[in-house]
Structure 1
Amino acid sequence: MEPNQMYHLFNRGNNRGLVFFKDKNYSYFLNKVKRHLLPHVDVLAYCLMPNHFHLQVYTKNDFDFVAYGHALKIMLSSYTRGINVQEGRTGSLFQQHTKKKILTNYGFVCFHYIHQNPMRTGLVSKMEDWPYCSFNNYFKGLHDTICNHNLACELLDLPIDPSEFYDLSYQVINYNGNGSTTDSFSS
């Protein structure tokens, strides 16, 4: 990873197991992201689902890969420790390596894919119904979240107006004809 680059980061539970067991786990994870990753990257979008997570990030000017790698490791291991205590379990919660894809030409597509993920998998019928995703932060104009809204709008040419954002988000859904959607960012 290099400074001033956009990436899609994602990981899932070992053996596709759960990583979020209770509602409070989602906010606990976001607090870990805020504490450990925000010093290194700006979050543009996120979606936390029961057995995996997606983050779209933009590396900062002073990005240090070694420091970021350490922060990511600490974030995931400290989250895992908390969940293991809560659930009375042991061992790794996540797959060994968090995947990353550079988004040179696909930032806009990835941004919307991340927000559509709960709907694509059948968890909800509308994006705004999934509370553990940055979609509602943009749609409702909330700027006190972990996402850097201004940077996302600038980099991805997104509308600032919440209702325009909402309309655009539903316009970019790509259905493949049989009721399901197609994508190239699945984890």
Structure 2
Amino acid sequence: MPDYRRNRVPGGTYFFTVNLLERHSHLLLEHIDLFRDAVRKVRARHPFHIDAWVVLPDHTHCIWTLPPGDTDYSSRWKAIKIAFAKSLPKTERLSAVRARKGERGIWQRRFWEHTIRDERDYANHVDYVHINPLKHGMVQQVSNWPYSSFHRYVAAGMYPHDWAGEMVELQAGERTSV
């Protein structure tokens, strides 16, 4: 069995990428209100601060800060995935393994996590979250994507409305300007 090692910093700030199992699905956007409800319900029971978030058709990127002393982001993701899956009718196709284990065929089992190291790392990952719809060719301007915390950042004066950022890529936990 693989040994997945997660970096755990009490009260830390983390960047996540979480994918649907079917990478060509639009399930997250088709059921955006159900996904938002799942996140809201989990946050009510297990608080965390949402620093940045973007929801794309088949995956999501976000940055969370956990409460002081708390390191348990995995249970939060598990609860979000379960709550979202339970809110959907069982129409997805299942592999024999998932059916045998009583699993749904909605989410990839794992997620990608990166512990934010410092202010520069934080700023780079916030930019990465917000540039993602443009990077994937879904919009011509970042401001045109409605499922993003970008609009909250514009309202707070942290980005101009027409921000397009430098196209950045995440490579082995590092962000580099192109």
- Counterpart in the other structure of 2:91: 88
Residues 168 and 118 of structure 1: CA distance in aligned 2, closer, same or farther (over 3 Å): closer
> Secondary structure of the residue that 1:73 maps to in structure 2?
helix
Does the Cα contact within 8 Å between 2:22 and 2:106 map onto a contact in 1? no
- Counterpart in the other structure of 1:113: 128
Alignment of 1:3 with 2:10, yes or no, is: yes
> Secondary structure of the residue that 2:54 maps to in structure 1?
strand
Alignment of 1:183 with 2:169, yes or no, is: yes
- Counterpart in the other structure of 1:71: 76
- Counterpart in the other structure of 2:96: none
- Counterpart in the other structure of 1:138: 153
Q: CA deviation at 1:73?
A: 1.1
> Secondary structure of the residue that 2:86 maps to in structure 1?
helix
Unmatched runs of 5 consecutive residues or more in structure 1: 142-159, 175-180
Does the Cα contact within 8 Å between 1:7 and 1:103 map onto a contact in 2? yes
**1:55-98 deviation line (CA, Å, top 9, x unaligned):** 10111114152xx4333212102212323x0x722532111112
Does the Cα contact within 8 Å between 1:20 and 1:49 map onto a contact in 2? no
Residues 4 and 169 of structure 1: CA distance in aligned 2, closer, same or farther (over 3 Å): farther
Q: CA deviation at 1:101?
A: 0.5
Residues 10 and 168 of structure 1: CA distance in aligned 2, closer, same or farther (over 3 Å): same
Please tell me the residue identity of whatever aligns with 1:76. Answer: K
Which deviates further from its counterpart, 11-20 or 107-116?
Answer: 11-20
- Counterpart in the other structure of 1:151: none
What is the root-mean-square deviation of aligned Cα atoms in Å? 2.6
Identity %: 16
- Residue from 111, 133, 143 that aligns with 1:98: 111
- Counterpart in the other structure of 1:31: 37
Cα distance in 2 for residues equivalent to 1:93 and 1:110: 26
> Secondary structure of the residue that 2:77 maps to in structure 1?
helix
Does the Cα contact within 8 Å between 2:15 and 2:116 map onto a contact in 1? yes
Cα distance in 2 for residues equivalent to 1:55 and 1:64: 16
Cα distance in 2 for residues equivalent to 1:136 and 1:6: 21
User: TM-score of the superposition, structure 1-length normalised?
Assistant: 0.71
Which deviates further from its counterpart, 33-42 or 109-118?
Answer: 33-42
- Hey, which of these two has a bigger chunk of helix by percent? 1
